[in-house]
Amino acid sequence: MTSPSEALVCVIDDDQFVRESLVLLLTCSDYRALGFEDAESFLNAGAAADADLLIIDVGLPGMNGLALIKRLNEAGLTRPVIVITGHADGSDLQGTTPPGLVAFLHKPVDPPELLQVIERSLSGRDSG
């Protein structure tokens, strides 16, 4: 089990308000959190290897969220993923279920629901 103070959650969302709000929520909930505005900055920072859980917006500029998840999985970096979207019908998922998907949440994200999903996801993981 990964405790909140040990867990690193990365938020990848191009909406600065959403990204900063989620990072603040996570930090106030005793998680280590990093925010990235796009897939490329996340990959270039090398945070994928250290992340315990990812919160990824589907509609990212450049490499979209689904392509990012695919790329991480191809590199053997499978992590629990919470996908968030601003599209109420989920049409941006294109009928796919990304590997590692633990939740699909609509914006605006409900903070208590998000924290419950994160806690469940991390408590089910082995610490190694």
* Model pLDDT, residue 127: 40
Q: What is the CATH number of the domain that holds 103?
A: 3.40.50.2300
Report the C-alpha gap between 38 and 10 in whole angstroms: 11
The parent domain of residue 57 ranges over 8-123
Query: What integer is the mean pLDDT of 9-24?
Result: 97
Is 80 exceeded by the pLDDT of residue 14? yes
Please answer whether residues 67 and 93 qualify as being in contact, where contact means their C-beta atoms are separated by less than 8 angstroms: no
Within-domain flag for 117: yes
Chain-wide mean pLDDT for the chain?
88
Residue 113 to residues 12, 26, 41, 120, Cα–Cα distance (Å): 18, 12, 27, 11
| pTM for the model | 0.89
Is 60 exceeded by the pLDDT of residue 126? no
Query: What integer is the mean pLDDT of 98-113?
Result: 90
* Model pLDDT, residue 25: 98
Within-domain flag for 37: yes
Q: What is the pLDDT of residues 68-105, one digit of tens each?
A: 999 999 999 989 999 998 865 555 555 567 778 899 99
* Model pLDDT, residue 5: 72
* Model pLDDT, residue 89: 53
Please answer whether residues 74 and 95 qualify as being in contact, where contact means their C-beta atoms are separated by less than 8 angstroms: no
Beta bridge partners of 35: 11
Question: 113-117: which pairs have CB atoms within 8 A and are 24 or more residues apart?
Answer: 114/22, 114/25, 114/55, 114/82, 115/25, 115/29, 117/82
Q: Give how many domains the chain has, as a whole number.
A: 1
Within-domain flag for 53: yes
Is 50 exceeded by the pLDDT of residue 49? yes
* Model pLDDT, residue 68: 95
Within-domain flag for 128: no
Per-residue H/E/C for 53-87:
EEEEECCCCCCCHHHHHHHHHHCCCCCCEEEEECC
Report the C-alpha gap between 82 and 100 in whole angstroms: 8
